[in-house]
Structure 1
Amino acid sequence: MKTKLLLLEDDLTLSETVVEYFEEQGFNIVPAYDGDEANELIYEQNFDLFLLDVNVPSMNGFELLKRVRSEGNKTPAVFITSLNSMDSLEEGFESGCDDYIRKPFELKELLLRVQTIIKREYSQKQELLDITENVKFNTQTNELIKDNEIVPLNFKELRLLKFFLQNSDELLIHERILENVWDYDEEPSDNSLRTYIKNLRKIVGKDKIVSLKKLGYRFNSK
């Protein structure tokens, strides 16, 4: 079954470009051109992910997602926006989005963001993820379990582990890891990252988190 996306975008040229690209990549993508139309489609159909432009007629993307979230719909959402201020970014995440991308953007980057979120959603539907024979991760409680006992992790270690699990078997460059483990108002630290990885390796094994010299890390699923 194809992954089904809703695209809210009032720029007809951009909408057609995105629809054509994602259809070529094997997605089922349904376009909408204003907030009210998108809202109706959400009621009528089931989607795996929303792609929402912010500045659209009738009801903007922020308002639409706030309404959808208030009614219990947890479908992941990515905002497509030309807004650059931190206030706008904050409003986007407060309304319930999972990611955002600023215009102009490369279609491949949008595809990668969509694939990452879809992969994450799929993995989180499995409550217990097997990391090794005796190590598991509970995606509902965010607990790492070894030999049937919960292993305490600090916040950054937990965030790092989840990022590895969501992107297993991929080369993750240092910059991408730092961006995802540290918040935008924090100063990332390579030394701290190495410490967190060292601590995780003690639990899951050195062969699970591989260092690729001068490039980054890869979390092996097998």
Structure 2
Amino acid sequence: MRILVIEDDRKTADYIAKGFAEAGHVCDIMADGRDALYHATSEEFDVMIVDRMLPGLDGLSLLKAIRAARNTVPAIFLTSIGGVDDRVEGLEAGGDDYLVKPFAFSELLARVNALSRRPPSQEQKTVLRVADLALDLIKRRVMRGDQLIELQPREFTLLEVLMRGEGRVLTRTMLLEKVWEFHFDPKTSVVETHISRLRAKIDRPFEVPLLHTIRNIGYSLHAPH
């Protein structure tokens, strides 16, 4: 799963991200409500975890704005505001679940897993497509045209991130954060190595390249103009 964690306490956010990474999931962390609104409505996630007390835009207003944009991704409030009226307010704002701090990560994981098992609405994509390249999130399968492409788990995640950002340039730093959960430069060529392997599988056997290197900036996945 790709999970958006909207939490301004860095220790809490890192703790959550570490737990989900160990469970095999990818987390994007946002600390500001306004930044999170743009992120949530411009990219695709499987679940959102939202704190109520946020700078820029509070969690309730944030989720109301996300729902107003017809974004139906499941959302769970994770907050220290835990009164009955507060819970009702959170659910009525568009939350699917409500968990009060302090919390056990095992319970958060179980609740997120439960939300992710809900049948997707028609507006949620389960297959990402760029030109003749298709990535099936449910079957964990990649096809280009009628040819099946075998990818390693990290290659699959890398391709998913690139496809969700179709047409946008993703920098090396962005890929390190989104795919490897590195919030520092590991001083290795891990990104370049995986990009090369991915390109060999999704591009080189085919006539039209989709994965493009933007020199000194990053990478972009898109069909030629």
TM-score by length of 2: 0.52
Letter in 1 for 2:94: G
Q: Give the Cα separation in 2 of the matches to 1:78 and 1:121.
A: 16
Cross-structure match for 1:110: 108
Cross-structure match for 1:98: 96
Cross-structure match for 1:32: 30
Shift of 1:90: 1.1
Cross-structure match for 1:53: 51
Letter in 2 for 1:75: V
Larger Rg: 1
Letter in 2 for 1:102: V
Letter in 2 for 1:14: T
* Structure 2 stretches lacking a partner, 5+ long: 123-225
Q: Give the Cα separation in 2 of the matches to 1:16 and 1:90.
A: 28
**Residue 42, structure 1, aligned to residue 40, structure 2:** yes
The structure in which a higher percent of residues are helix is 1
Letter in 1 for 2:13: S
Letter in 2 for 1:37: D
Cross-structure match for 1:120: 118
Q: Give the Cα separation in 2 of the matches to 1:121 and 1:82.
A: 29
Which secondary structure does the structure 1 equivalent of 2:29 belong to? strand
Cross-structure match for 1:87: 85
Q: 2:41–2:66: 8 Å Cα contact kept in structure 1?
A: no
Letter in 2 for 1:82: S
RMSD: 1.3
1:66-215 alignment, distance < 5 Å = 66-122=64-120
Q: Give the Cα separation in 1 of the matches to 2:119 and 2:57.
A: 27
Q: Give the Cα separation in 1 of the matches to 2:72 and 2:82.
A: 25
Shift of 1:121: 3.0
| 1:110-144 deviation line (CA, Å, top 9, x unaligned) | 0000001111235x77xxxxxxxxxxxxxxxxxxx
Q: Give the number of the structure with larger relative contact order, counting CA–CA contacts within 8 Å between residues 6 or more apart.
A: 2
Which secondary structure does the structure 2 equivalent of 1:5 belong to? strand
| 1:36-95 deviation line (CA, Å, top 9, x unaligned) | 111111132111111000011111111000011112111110000111222211110110
Letter in 1 for 2:82: N
Q: Give the Cα separation in 1 of the matches to 2:40 and 2:12.
A: 21
Letter in 2 for 1:65: L
Cross-structure match for 1:19: 17
Which secondary structure does the structure 2 equivalent of 1:105 belong to? coil
Cross-structure match for 2:159: none
Which secondary structure does the structure 2 equivalent of 1:75 belong to? coil
Q: Give the Cα separation in 2 of the matches to 1:121 and 1:83.
A: 29
